[in-house]
Amino acid sequence: MTDEILIPARDDLHAARGDWLKSLARERRLADLTVEAYERDTRQFLIFLTGHLGGPPGLKDISNLRTADLRAFLARRRNDGAGARTLGRGLAGVRSLLRFLEKRGMASAAGAAAMRAPKQPKSLPKPLTASDARRVVSAGEQLSEEPWIAARNAAVLTLLYGCGLRISEALGLLAGEIGPGVTALRVTGKGGKTRLAPLLPVVLEAVAEYRRLCPYDLTPDRALFRGAKGGALQPAIVQREMQKMRAALNLPDTATPHALRHSFATHLLGRGGDLRTIQELLGHASLSTTQVYTGVDASRLLDIYDKAHPRA
């Protein structure tokens, strides 16, 4: 850890901050890397305060901190090139220090508590490769020793990848909504938006095999997918099965059930599917959401333009 003698702060604040850092490791048992990050973030905060206040800060200065002082700190860090995640972690470190001091009657954490953390960039699951996606949905790759449960898992995952469904949409299906002669699903997604999801033969085959093996009576008005005891299948079960498959198939941590929906969109786009159609298949309200979701870049858009525009 950095030598605290090099940190600009008065003795009382030096000592209190040292006690806080020790408490993170000993009492709260935070990981070493987390403690190091908090030490670094609060060190940068004290360096900022030295310039902001015109001299090394002490406990009195910390106790009089205003929200405006914290905003100025984040603005300085942003100007130095810090991103939203770094700023958010920095604010978390300062808040933790102030809460520690507040509990000991040395400062108030009200100003920090009133601060909103910088908006974090929306992270999206990375798509699986086409070959990995095929392995994940394959009945032969399922890990359950119970044949009907293996078939059930394969059917659920095939719906996510083959139709671009959210896991809640797949598990919300009633038994009467999919079967012989059904060529598309009417899916109600977020915001009550309804869309049609065409059913590929491979999806129908996976569901039919699950129906054949399922030991429970799949009446039309009840859940299609059942848990081991016959109740409606819960998302946590599917997520846990996917976690096991990640380890067995040596897949990255980003291989989640939702990543199959992302893979559905990305692979369609890569094979020449147009954004507007993919938007409808995913049930997105705006095209911009689909563009971000599928990771479209300018070169890909230009490629679509070159192939499709009459004047290209």
How many Cβ atoms sit within 10 Å of the Cβ of residue 236? 9
What pLDDT, in 10s, does the model give residues 28-49? 777 788 888 889 889 999 999 9
* % of the chain with per-residue pLDDT over 70: 83
| Chain length of the chain | 312
- Final residue before a domain boundary, out of 113, 141, 162: 113
In this structure, the answer to whether residues 103 and 156 fall within a common structural domain is no
Active site residue 284: yes
In this structure, the answer to whether residues 68 and 166 fall within a common structural domain is no
Structural domain of residue 80, as residue ranges?
Answer: 4-113
Tokens of 222: 């009840």
CB 252 within 8 A of CB 277: no
- The DSSP output letter for 226 is B
Active site residue 261: yes
Active site residue 293: yes
- Final residue before a domain boundary, out of 49, 79, 113: 113
- Final residue before a domain boundary, out of 86, 113, 140: 113
**135, 258, 267, 300: which one is catalytic?**
258
Residue identified by tokens 């200065």 is 61
* % of the chain with per-residue pLDDT over 90: 29
pLDDT of residue 1: 42
What whole-number distance in Å separates Cα of residue 141 and Cα of residue 155?
12
In this structure, the answer to whether residues 74 and 149 fall within a common structural domain is no
**17, 166, 195, 211: which one is catalytic?**
166
Q: Count of domains in the chain?
A: 2
What pLDDT, in 10s, does the model give residues 51-103? 888 889 888 888 878 888 888 888 888 888 888 778 888 888 888 888 888 88
292 in a structural domain: no
CATH of the domain at 56: 1.10.150.130
Active site residue 116: no
What whole-number distance in Å separates Cα of residue 222 and Cα of residue 215?
14
**190, 193, 212, 240: which one is catalytic?**
190
**What ranges in 164-256 are assigned the alpha helix state H?**
167-171, 201-213, 235-248
